[in-house]
Amino acid sequence: MSSSIALRASEHIDSLQDELWRLADRIRLAAEVAFEEVESADALRALLAAHGLVVDDVAGAPATSFVADAGSRGPLVVLCAEYDALPDLGHACGHQLIAAAAAGAGIALARLAVEVGLRVRVVGCPAEESGGGKELLLRAGAFEGAACALMVHPGVSEQSSFSSYALGTLRARFIGHAGHPVRDREQPDATDARLLAESALALVRHRLPDGAAIPWSIADAPGRPSMRQAEAGLLVEARALGAADLARVTARVVDCLRGAALAAGCELLLEHPEPDYLDFRGDPSLADAWAAALPFVGRTSGDDPGPYAVTDMGNVSHRIPSLHAVMTLGNGQAEPHEPAFTGLAAGEAGRQWIRDASTTLALTALAVAERHP
């Protein structure tokens, strides 16, 4: 791309800094968890519409999602805006910065779309922390026709290449017989089934593929030990390096749960409370374009340290060439999902991050347009 186009994109983003910071702060203060991001989504929609993007709902997708489009010809570049908060921790993952960066890049690209031959779409993506919002948006067609999908996450490193774990969640409910622990001792006990399941999971997790794990937690309703519970539950996560291993690990988990129910004489109700999160498979050419754009904002890409997180952007990457870059927030002195990260993202480091991230996103998208004349 020409240096003049890059400079104009940067100037557009510079002119938006106060608006983007107010947007990020509004999302931070709202701190809305998965599928409840009404104020956050509305703030994003309003800003994008005010700058000329056409904002629409997505039929069949979560109510707090949207698409905002500009441009009429050329490749379609999707920018993913996340904005859900963590329960009890608020925006300790910096999603308000991700939303502002996507909005800034989207507005700058909309102003250049006709000239460079590019279509841009900002997709409002709820429920990343839980709920698999992007998978639901994929099923609803929000990414249909995209040449690529781009996003950037604040963190402790500079990464143009990124990898993540695959994750599947199961909620098990063992149904037994409520009653007296002595008089009804011949009846199936749901607690027995849960204990058997935990023992089986503890044994099988020593025979998993490399990089896999099975954490779980008890998900029972409160009750008194003097009365047997009719139900007992577990929430089980299966983690693996890839989708194929995840399927194998999940099958072992299901065998443990079914076997425990059978041994205890209980009924088993299994739920999949959210879509599986697939491992992220980045597109090398997009990673190269991001790395080439970083010096424009005074940054340099580092190495991918290997998987350390889970993201539903992995689901997007299995269907569409994708970028999930990581950009250092401040001096990288706080990790995401820590309370200190919330404060760092809310200060001057967050404001600078929005500028750098939105500029680099825009330049990466312009490189895509240049490759697709």
Query: What is the spatial distance between Cα 205 and Cα 250, in angstroms, rounded to a whole number?
Result: 11
Q: Are residues 234 and 322 in the same domain?
A: no
Q: Are residues 195 and 243 in the same domain?
A: yes
- Which of 271, 286, 313 is the endpoint of a domain? 271
Q: Are residues 129 and 30 in the same domain?
A: yes
Q: Are residues 154 and 60 in the same domain?
A: yes
C-alpha torsion sign, points 80, 86, 235, 175: negative
Question: What pLDDT does 226 receive?
Answer: 45
Question: What pLDDT does 227 receive?
Answer: 53
Q: Are residues 112 and 221 in the same domain?
A: no
Chain position carrying tokens 């044994």: 203
- Which of 271, 297, 328 is the endpoint of a domain? 271
Domain count of the fold of the chain:
2
Q: Are residues 262 and 353 in the same domain?
A: no
Contact 28, 91 (CB under 8 A): yes
Q: What is the pTM (predicted TM-score) of this model?
A: 0.93
C-alpha torsion sign, points 307, 308, 313, 315: positive
What's the pLDDT tens digit per position in 34-88?
999 999 999 999 999 999 999 999 999 999 999 999 999 999 999 999 999 999 9
Q: What does each C-alpha distance from 365 to 287, 289, 322, 369 come to in angstroms? A: 11, 9, 11, 6
Confidence of residue 183 (pLDDT cuts 50, 70, 90): low
Confidence of residue 177 (pLDDT cuts 50, 70, 90): confident
Query: What is the spatial distance between Cα 307 and Cα 107, in angstroms, rounded to a whole number?
Result: 32
Query: What is the spatial distance between Cα 275 and Cα 281, in angstroms, rounded to a whole number?
Result: 18
Question: What pLDDT does 180 receive?
Answer: 56
27-41, 57-71, 223-237, 239-253, range with the lowest pLDDT: 223-237
The pLDDT mean for the chain works out to 94
> Mean pLDDT, to the nearest integer, of 353-361?
98
Confidence of residue 233 (pLDDT cuts 50, 70, 90): very high
The CATH number covering residue 147 comes to 3.40.630.10
Q: Which amino acid is at 122?
A: V
Does residue 181 have a pLDDT over 60?
A: no
Residue predicted with more confidence, 190 or 41: 41
1-5, 237-241, 325-329, range with the lowest pLDDT: 1-5
What's the pLDDT tens digit per position in 71-130?
999 999 999 999 999 999 999 999 999 999 999 999 999 999 999 999 999 999 999 999
Domain that holds residue 192: 166-271
The CATH number covering residue 257 comes to 3.30.70.360
Sequence-separated (6 or more) residues with CB below 8 Å from residue 315: 132, 134, 135, 138, 275, 276, 277, 278
> Mean pLDDT, to the nearest integer, of 4-28?
96
Q: Are residues 231 and 242 in the same domain?
A: yes
DSSP 276: P
What's the pLDDT tens digit per position in 285-297?
999 999 999 999 9
